[in-house]
Amino acid sequence: MLRFFYTVAMYLATPVIVWRLVARGFRYRGYFRRWRERFGRFPDPGLRDSIWVHAVSVGEVNAALPLIQSLQRRYAPRPMVVTTVTPTGSERVRKLFGDAVFHVYLPYDLPRAVARFLDRVRPALAVVMETEIWPNLFHQCGRRGIPMAVVNARLSERSLRGYRPIRALVRQALANVALVAAQSHADARRYRVLGARPGCVHVSGNLKYDMPLPKGARQRGDEMRMQWGAARPVWFAASTHEGEELAAFEAHLRVLARMPDALLLVAARHPERFRLVEHAARNLGFAVATHSAADANAETQCLVIDAMGVMMRYFAACDLAFVAGSLVPIGGHNVLEPAALSKPVVVGPYTFNFEEITRSMIEAGAARRVGSAQELGEVVLELLRDPPELARMGTAARAVCARERGAARRTMALLGRIFARARYAQSETSPEPGHTDLPAQKTH
């Protein structure tokens, strides 16, 4: 009955959801494309017993990369399916994997849409990244006997409180999950409180520590520094949201007053805001260049990065990274991307999306937290004027990344167990003559 009322609510909300996508589509045309996929309508690719991984957007796709590569190696020649929700996530999947995976959007959580999707991709294993809990999708996977895992699972205290009104419904959905591979012990505890079966919850670590560096990122970063002026101080406001660009610009004015040759790199989180950020920087009087125009030089004071998938080269080029989404109550973004390149990190007060990682970075002396926009300028200026401290923080950041690696291997071991159990149970109930299951994952 709970799921029935949820489904009715989803049908009633669908026009609002579609209207929101239309509104975003006027600013970012990718939202206008491939509408049918969002209702599970796409040509049948003829797949069978696929391995399906769902990653919402760019960050989740990047985090899933080492796991997807491991799944491809372990379970070849089974087809690999990767779904996303956002156009930017879709673009990232195509850039990373090309035709090596079958990619579509995950449909809305409507029973018929979900059924059409599952009928076409026919997964033998379903892997959902981080915090995506969809009652109808999870129910149908359970009914069809598809082993389902939530991996790199994270759940903040704030999100746990947000689920309180529908906790009974979420508990029903989680009853269909064979594995929750949590990022930390705190995340594991919250998933148990939310309703996951205790025996299914394990701590595997954070897959983001295992993300490989893009080839040539360091070299491209060095080349850009030579173009801008190798000795000038450079800092990066990365993945900013509305309100954070102004804070970064004000901080940069403070920096320029003491370090006139300083350069600010700024990248908005959402592509539809690229142009707005550029106009704001020009209106404040900065000498502005953009990534798309490739016109940055020694005179540039603010470089607006108006493209997706290029962040790592700019992390490699900077002296210091302010990881945004943390001055406003978004919850912060991935501090490990700059840390993997030995870059010191500054964050704001709101980092609940990456609570454990951020705490580790701060405790190791690899990151600094600021409480306000005004303090951002003070700390950035302080650090840029202290190269030895920047070097020490960068070394500490790299050490944190090295210490925490191994989540992909641990997650693969857990997935191997639930997949082997599911295939064994299936062969016991409906054996297929002549069919040979893949070997179970060995664990270490």
pLDDT digits (tens, 9 = 90+) for 360-383: 999 999 999 999 989 999 999 999
pLDDT in tens, 135-174: 999 999 999 999 999 999 999 898 999 999 999 999 999 9
Residues above pLDDT 70, as percent of the chain: 94
pLDDT band at 444 (very low <50, low <70, confident <90, very high): very low
Percent helix, strand, coil in the chain, to 5, is 55, 15, 30
Residue 438 predicted with pLDDT over 60: no
Three-state DSSP state, 295: coil
pLDDT, position 441: 39
pLDDT in tens, 252-279: 999 999 999 999 999 999 888 999 999 9
Query: Could you write out the DSSP letters of every residue in 185-201?
Result: HHHHHHHHHHT--GGGE
Higher pLDDT, 194 or 433: 194
Higher pLDDT, 33 or 82: 82
Residue 436 predicted with pLDDT over 70: no
pLDDT, position 22: 79
Which whole number is the average pLDDT over 30-59?
A: 90
Q: Do 2-205+406-427 and 217-404 fold alike per CATH?
A: yes
Does residue 245 carry a catalytic annotation?
no
As a whole number of angstroms, the distance between CA 291 and CA 260 comes to 22
Task: Report yes or no: 313 and 340 within 8 Å, Cβ to Cβ.
Answer: no
pLDDT, position 440: 39
Closest listed residue to residue 263, CA positions, set 283, 277, 281, 280: 281
pLDDT band at 295 (very low <50, low <70, confident <90, very high): confident
Residue 437 predicted with pLDDT over 50: no
pLDDT in tens, 49-101: 999 999 999 889 999 999 999 999 999 999 999 999 988 899 999 999 999 99
Catalytic, out of 37, 60, 245, 375? 60
pLDDT band at 424 (very low <50, low <70, confident <90, very high): low
Please state the CATH superfamily assignment of the domain spanning residues 217-404 in this structure. Answer: Glycogen Phosphorylase B; (3.40.50.2000)
- In angstroms, what CA-CA distances link 246 with 35, 184, 250, 343? 35, 34, 6, 23
Close Cβ partners of 143 (under 8 Å, ≥ 6 residues apart): none
**Span of 7-21, 128-142, 312-326, 427-441 with lowest mean pLDDT:** 427-441
pTM: 0.82
pLDDT, position 429: 60
pLDDT, position 405: 93
Residues above pLDDT 90, as percent of the chain: 81
As a whole number of angstroms, the distance between CA 183 and CA 360 comes to 13
Residue 322 predicted with pLDDT over 70: yes
Residue 388 predicted with pLDDT over 90: yes
pLDDT in tens, 230-244: 899 999 999 999 999
Q: Where are the domains of the chain?
A: 2-205+406-427, 217-404
Higher pLDDT, 241 or 444: 241
pLDDT, position 427: 66
Which whole number is the average pLDDT over 177-191?
A: 96
pLDDT, position 19: 86
Mean of all residue pLDDT scores within the chain? 92
Which whole number is the average pLDDT over 185-212?
A: 95
325 phi, psi to nearest 5 deg: 75, 10
- 2-205+406-427 is classed CATH 3.40.50.11720: yes
